[in-house]
Structures are given as C-alpha cells and as structure tokens.
Amino acid sequence: MARLPFGVSRFDGQIGGGAPSGSVVLLAGSAGAGAREFIYTSTVFNGMLKDDPELFDLHYGDLGPDVEPPEEIHYVSFSASRGDVSREITFSMDNEIVAAGLSGVTFADLSAEYFQLSPVPREWYADDPRSLAELGETTDRRSVIQAFADYLDEHASDSLVIVDSLTDLVGDQQRERPWADVVYLLKGLRKATREWDGLVLLHLSRDAITETEFGELMACVDGTVQFSWETGGNERVRTMFVQEFRGVLSQLEEEDIVRFETEIHEAGFDVSNVRKIR
C-alpha cells in the first residue's frame, strides 16, 4: 500500500514512510503539547517537497521506498485567513523554511460560511466589504459543513488536506451544529477519503470535548494520535502517543514502541526520543 508522508522525518521513519493512502487521522492534544505544531510542520514540509525538493532533502532526508508524495497540499481553515495561519507558523519555524514550504500550499478560508449566522460583524472576518444592495443579492447560504464538503470534493483526490480545526465545529454544537452532524461528517469523510486516495489530517483541541465524545470521534477515523505534557521533577516533556491507526499501530507494536518524546525547534515539530517496552 502506498504511503503519504506526514512530513515529520523521525516519525515517518518509524512507520514505513508515512500514513497509508486513503486515511483520515485525528491529531488531538492539550494546549501547547504539539498537535498544532505537527500540522504546521506537515503542511510546510509537504509544500517544500513539492516546490523546493533540495531544501526538503536538507532538512528531512530521503523518502521511504513506498512513499508517494501528495499531488497537492490544501490547508482548510474554518476561522482564520492565510495571513493569520502564515504568521502563526512563523512563530514556531524558521522563516526560510516557512516561505519555501507555504509557496506550495493552497489555502481555503471558510470564515464567511463559519461566521455568517453568528453575531460577529462581517468586516471582522471578510476581506470584501459589501453594500446593503450586494447583501440583498447574496444567494450563497451554504452551511460551513456543505462548503467544506464541496471543497474536498473538488480538491482532495490524491492530496494532503490539513483541517484547522475540528474544534471549531465541535465547539459550536449547542447553536446550529448538533453533535450527530459532526459524527456523520467524519463517517462520510472517512468513506470518501478511501476513494480520494489522499490523506486528511484533523486537528482537535482535546480539552474541547468529553471522553465519550472523543471515543465517538475516534471510531469515525482511521487513526488517532494524541499529544500531551508529562511532568517529572522540574521538567515538562511533550509526548506523542499513537492510540490507534490502521496500518501503523501494528508496526509500532512490532518495534515495542509505546510513546514518542517530542520537541519543537526552528524546523518545526520533531521526535527527540522513542520509548520502548523494557
């Protein structure tokens, strides 16, 4: 089975080069524990692979023999613009690496659909101011879920899609998106991604949902990777744990790997140590 790289070299190297094609992966973490930096690194390095392979080779190294790079990289945000995301990424990665990587990434900003029924003033989230007459002529009232689905239908085939963030949808369930809608969305996404033969990464703030809700989401995806803090003595360590993952977890079990210690440096998210069963 072909694999698509996550873009985190030491992690990809432990799992056969990347994720099996046709996978939906949930990346859930506590604040600052690394889940967001993981999606930033995945975005930048896959974009760099596409647009600047020499710089990619310098910072990442060689791809595995069964790895097929995604044809396109799409970053889908429900509440932030390309500029917002780019600035955020530069806070955690070197500017040269970010510039080289993001040039190969297509951004989709669904803020208009996300905020359209909220009390937030349009000028806060939309780049194009509209007159009252123009507003009266507007007929596109798609829900954010429909807009998201339409975008994936058009662009997700053989591509890497980073979704920032599932938290925006699950945190709004009391207003217009019932919890069941989110669950159905992920089940449908999983089925469609099999046909698209790409890779979809879903970021989630773990503290935003209950244990029961988290279990429901896990059942709807192919893989779940959790990011957390561990405290020992006077130190705090970021760790990453593959909770379940079709075609990946079995490889880690064969190597007796139970958890990864991680770090964040100028080249983004990285694995600093591998913990094995003793």
Would 132 be classed as within a structural domain?
no
3-state secondary structure 200-214: EEEEEEHHHCCHHHH
Would 130 be classed as within a structural domain?
no
Residues 173-227: tens digit of each pLDDT: 555 678 999 999 999 999 999 999 999 999 999 999 999 999 999 999 999 999 9
Q: What is the pLDDT of residue 263?
A: 97
Nearest CA to 8 out of 260, 192, 278, 198 is that of: 260
Q: What percentage of the chain exceeds 90 in pLDDT? A: 80
pTM to 2 decimal places: 0.93
Would 201 be classed as within a structural domain?
yes
Q: Given a cut of 90, is residue 277 above it in pLDDT?
A: no
Using CA atoms, how far apart are residues 189 and 193, in angstroms rounded to an integer? 6
Query: Residue 80 maps to which CATH number?
Result: 3.40.50.300
Would 124 be classed as within a structural domain?
no
Would 270 be classed as within a structural domain?
yes
Q: What is the pLDDT of residue 134?
A: 47
Using CA atoms, how far apart are residues 157 and 195, in angstroms rounded to an integer? 8
Q: CB within 8 A of 31, min separation 6: which ones?
A: 205, 207
Which of the two residues, 260 and 122, has the higher pLDDT score? 260
Q: What range defines the domain where residue 150 resides?
A: 3-119+140-276
Would 246 be classed as within a structural domain?
yes
Would 133 be classed as within a structural domain?
no
Tokens linked to 27: 């990346």
Residues 26-74: tens digit of each pLDDT: 999 999 999 999 999 999 999 999 999 999 999 999 998 999 999 999 9
Number of domains in the chain: 1
Would 103 be classed as within a structural domain?
yes
